[in-house]
Amino acid sequence: MDRLSIPEEIEFIAPMGNFNNHTPNEEEYLVYHPEDNTYRLPEAMMDTPIDEIYFLVNMNKNIHIASLPTNEYNVWANLGNVITDGNETIVFRPDEYRRGEPEYKISGNVADSIHNHIVNNLKRIAIEASNTIFRLMQENDEFDIVLAQRDSLNNEISELKNQVPEKYHWLFLEIEFIIINNYHPTYLEMVFHSRKENRQMLDKIRRSISYYNYMLEKTSAAKNLIDNSPFIPLSLYSSFNNIDIEIILNSLSEDANIPAGYFSNYLNNVLATSDDHQICGTILFDRAQNMSYRIEEKAIELINRIKEDYPDYKGLHNGNVEQFLQRFKIKEGIAAPDFTIATLCGENFNLSDHKGKFVFIDFWGTWCGPCVGEVPHLIELANSIPEDELIIIGLSVGDTEEKLNTFIAENGINYRNAMCSDDIQKEYGVNSFPTTFLIDKEGNIVAKNLRGNLLAQLKTYMN
């Protein structure tokens, strides 16, 4: 039996944890209820205070979190549902466990547990932080207001941490990493200046000691999370994929006391030891996306590995992988997919109607710093090349029409824009922003992802 599977023939299931960390006796085995195919904690155990618990299936067969090596840890099947304060009903459903989704593993009535109290408060804090900090970023020109809100967030987390026993402090490792990753003062300052299109200040920050310290804190927090938490949220695996690059680029290894390749080796170990299709698929898909900008063949090889080894990976079924692969089909030399879309000015724009002219398509969003940074180049392009030679259209993704109209008015945008449909985005295989296409007079794609001094670049194609 591998470490994540429930065997077909279950001899017994016993709870293990701080209250009985030993080989269980028969009185502690979960009682099987054939009417609903569940195993339930025996009545003799119901009055036993339970702080932390995992389950032993048959003899010496532990249920492990998918992200951890087999022989280094004995950890819990689903901490969110089984840490209790005692006097709770814990139910184990082996048939549903095989489904692989966390909510189907182990369930119990833990609404009043300390664990639940911590997790729910941390979720609330994280949501409030995201909503409040970035709203302030949009509404205020004073960066100090944003920093004050960030300090308030840190204080609230510290107060909550001080209220609970130390053995629960590992639960804070995730949000401590997220706070550094998303809300570090240096990172927030970069977002602030990006929204203001202040490239000179962004370059200055990237060369500063504060940026180095930000990357050092982020890297150390990620390692601390991996080393000390028995559970790594699925959403963080993509973050780990990129940290080794940051270590190399910023020469962090010595100060962070992290060996070269630490995070890649960790993820490789997960791939070698885990059967979790979502975790392994996420790691490989993220690597494929990073690789796609350099070696397309390797990216496709990684996707094929997902299809073969992790067919239940959700990205294979929700269209994400299909859309990702589409980007390799939409390339220089092929006919641009035709589309019709209503622009914000009320006209119907049909791509094929503009044969005989060059067309520049920009997939972008006002929320995207690099996209916004390209707007002045597009305005210059529209001012320099007449429409009987070049048509420019921006296709906005992730904006509301009201927000887009406001941005266009405030920034003097002088070329067509429209709210991009899902169908057009998928047809062009766009999943990163900005993505641009230059279409020639015959309707063929002649260039992709042109950025920067667009006027000089387009002249080489149009002459």
Query: Which distant-in-sequence residues (6+ apart) come within 8 Å of 443 by Cβ?
Result: 335, 336, 338, 351, 352, 355
Give the end of a domain, one of 72, 89, 108: 108
End-to-end CA distance of the chain: 66
Distance between CA atoms of residues 430 and 325, nearest Å: 10
Q: Return the DSSP state at 50.
A: -
Does residue 1 form part of some domain?
no
Residue 86 falls inside a structural domain: yes
Tokens coding 149: 């809100």
What one-character DSSP code corresponds to residue 450? -
Give domain status of residue 83, yes or no. yes
Q: Which is nearest to 92 in space by CA: 119, 279, 81, 115?
A: 81
d(CA 269, CA 271): 5
> Mean pLDDT, 10 residues at a time, over the chain (463 residues)?
40 56 63 71 58 53 35 30 38 49 40 63 78 71 79 88 82 87 87 73 89 94 87 80 84 87 91 85 92 86 95 90 88 94 95 96 89 91 95 95 92 96 91 91 94 91 89
Same domain, 57 and 35: yes
Distance CA 35, CA 17 (A): 28
Question: Residue 54: its pLDDT value, please?
Answer: 54
CA distance 288 to 236: 16
CATH number, domain at 452? 3.40.30.10
Residues 156, 178: Cα–Cα separation, whole Å? 15
In this structure, what are the phi and psi dihedrals at residue 252, rounded to the nearest 5 degrees? -90, -15
What angle (nearest 5°) sits at the alpha carbon of residue 352, between those of residues 423 and 296? 55
At residue 16, what is the residue type?
Answer: M
- Is 263 inside any structural domain? no
pTM assigned to the model: 0.62
Same domain, 60 and 136: no
Where is 361: in which H helix or E strand?
strand 358-364
Spatial CB neighbours of 81, under 8 Å, sequence gap ≥ 6:
103, 105, 106, 107, 108, 110
Task: With beta carbons less than 8 A apart as the criterion, state whether 225 and 177 touch.
Answer: yes
Residue 59 CA to residue 381 CA, distance in Å, equals 71
- Helices 320-329 and 296-309: crossing angle in degrees, nearest 10, is 150
Residue 391 half-sphere exposure, CB side, CA atoms within 13 Å? 20
The residue type found at 269 is N
Q: How many structural domains compose the chain? A: 4
pLDDT, residue 238, reads 83
Q: Tell whether 194 and 293 lie within a shared domain.
A: no
285, 309, 329 — which closes off a domain?
329
The domain in which residue 131 lies consists of 114-254
Say what the pLDDT of residue 168 is.
Answer: 73
- Tell me which H or E stretch contains 339: none
Which residues neighbour 2 within 8 Å (Cβ) at sequence distance 6 or greater? 275
Give the separation between CA 215 and CA 250, rounded to whole angstroms: 8
